[in-house]
């Protein structure tokens, strides 16, 4: 029986389509990051999803924190907003794998089955077909983690509580990484974007669950993650905060990018 695979939709647009070139670009971005020598492994990340020329360096600041988790993280729960096809709740694809130029990533069908009774979780291939918000992370994850299984969730009209309920089902232990894909403000002048994005970053650090879509295109999954972070006693760290005016030059209309890591407090009562 053949495996149903979602092909890469934005290879050659958001990142290189040729495997060797892509692997080299990802590696170069990671090598430019110098995280502290002593650091805890993150339980969750918020990472931007623009083309690598725009947000790749900011994304790399988060992925560099995963180097010690190769062979330890076996499952990635990846949530991101829908940009093309609206959807109610959180949508899974019907495929068994996602393709990237670096190879195929199998979905964790056993974990996905545990969501079957949740009314906010649906199956919708249309919203996944051309969506870049999840796909652009795969080459980074493949580079730093090696083999892992994926749970890809495209998030549309949902409440923070509905997102958090899904995350609780999938939370797991050290083998599971939770990720939210999101950019920040869109198409504002440089200085206005800087101010708004700084305010948004502080709200994330404070674990507030009322972010708007003017602050972040992935506000819905972020709010759900932050609700779960409160329950699990996670501590947030801002790793990088910039915008496309910093990375690609044009400061008249910029898009904001931030990377955050969330760490578990071992003394917190779960």
Model confidence pLDDT, tens digit, residues 72-95: 999 999 999 999 999 999 999 999
What's residue 251's pLDDT? 96
pLDDT of 270 higher than 80 = no
What's residue 177's pLDDT? 98
Task: Label each residue of 145-156 as H, E or C.
Answer: HCCCEEEEEEEC
Strand, coil or helix: 127: helix
Percent of the chain clearing pLDDT 70 (strictly above): 97
Q: Give dist(CA 87, CA 9) in Å, integer.
A: 19
Is residue 127 situated within a structural domain? yes
Domain that residue 123 falls in:
5-11+41-263
What's residue 66's pLDDT? 96
Residue 36: pLDDT band with limits 50, 70, 90: confident
Is residue 18 situated within a structural domain? no
Are 112 and 149 spatial neighbours (Cβ–Cβ below 8 Å)? no
Is residue 269 situated within a structural domain? no
Looking at per-residue pLDDT, the higher value among 35 and 93 belongs to: 93
Is residue 35 situated within a structural domain? no
pLDDT of 1 higher than 70 = no
Is residue 27 situated within a structural domain? no
Residue 24: pLDDT band with limits 50, 70, 90: very high
Q: Give dist(CA 225, CA 160) in Å, integer.
A: 8
Strand, coil or helix: 55: helix
Residue 35: pLDDT band with limits 50, 70, 90: confident
Looking at the chain, list the stretches that DSSP marks H as alpha helix, in order from N- to C-terminal side. Answer: 19-31, 52-63, 109-113, 125-129, 132-135, 138-145, 160-170, 190-205, 219-232, 244-247
Calculate the average pLDDT of the chain.
96
Percent of the chain clearing pLDDT 90 (strictly above): 94
Tokens linked to 152: 């890809």
Tokens linked to 27: 């590696």
What's residue 2's pLDDT? 57
Is residue 113 situated within a structural domain? yes
How many domains would you assign to the chain?
A: 1
Is residue 21 situated within a structural domain? no
Which residue shows structure tokens 């389509």?
A: 17
Mean of pLDDT values over 58-83: 97
Beta strand 121-123 pairing with 90-92: parallel
Contacts of 195 (CB under 8 A, 6+ apart): none
Are 138 and 195 spatial neighbours (Cβ–Cβ below 8 Å)? no
CATH number at residue 202: 3.40.830.10
What's residue 266's pLDDT? 61
Q: Measured on CA atoms in the order 112, 133, 17, 19, is the torsion positive or negative?
A: negative
Mean of pLDDT values over 128-144: 98
Mean of pLDDT values over 239-260: 96
pLDDT of 129 higher than 80 = yes
* Count of C-beta atoms within a 10 Å radius of residue 40: 14
pLDDT digits (tens, 9 = 90+) for 138-196: 999 999 999 999 999 999 999 999 999 999 999 999 999 999 999 999 999 999 999 99
Is residue 31 situated within a structural domain? no
């Amino acid at each position: 029986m053949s495996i149903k695979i979602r092909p890469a939709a934005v290879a050659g647009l958001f990142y290189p389509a040729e495997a060797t070139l892509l692997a080299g670009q990802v590696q170069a971005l990671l090598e430019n990051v110098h995280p502290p020598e002593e650091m805890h492994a993150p339980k969750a990340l918020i990472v931007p999803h623009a083309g690598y020329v725009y947000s790749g360096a900011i994304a790399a600041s988060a992925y560099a924190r995963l180097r010690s988790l190769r062979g330890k993280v076996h499952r990635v729960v990846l949530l991101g907003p829908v940009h093309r096809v609206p959807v109610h709740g959180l949508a899974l694809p019907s495929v068994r794998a996602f393709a990237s130029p670096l190879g195929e990533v199998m979905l964790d069908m056993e974990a996905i089955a545990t969501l079957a009774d949740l009314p906010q979780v649906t199956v919708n291939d249309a919203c996944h077909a051309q969506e870049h918000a999840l796909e652009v992370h795969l080459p980074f994850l493949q580079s730093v983690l090696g083999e892992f299984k994926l749970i890809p969730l495209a998030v549309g009209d949902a409440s923070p509580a509905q997102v958090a309920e899904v995350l609780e089902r999938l939370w797991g232990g050290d083998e599971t990484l939770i990720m939210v894909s999101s950019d920040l403000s869109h198409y504002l002048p440089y200085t206005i974007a800087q101010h708004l994005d700084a305010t948004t970053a502080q709200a994330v650090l404070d674990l507030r669950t009322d972010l708007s879509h003017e602050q972040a295109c992935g506000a819905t999954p972020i709010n759900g993650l932050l609700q779960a972070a409160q329950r699990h006693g996670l501590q947030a760290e801002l790793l990088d905060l910039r915008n496309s005016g910093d990375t690609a030059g044009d400061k008249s209309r910029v898009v904001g990018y931030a990377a955050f890591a969330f760490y578990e407090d071992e003394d917190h009562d779960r």
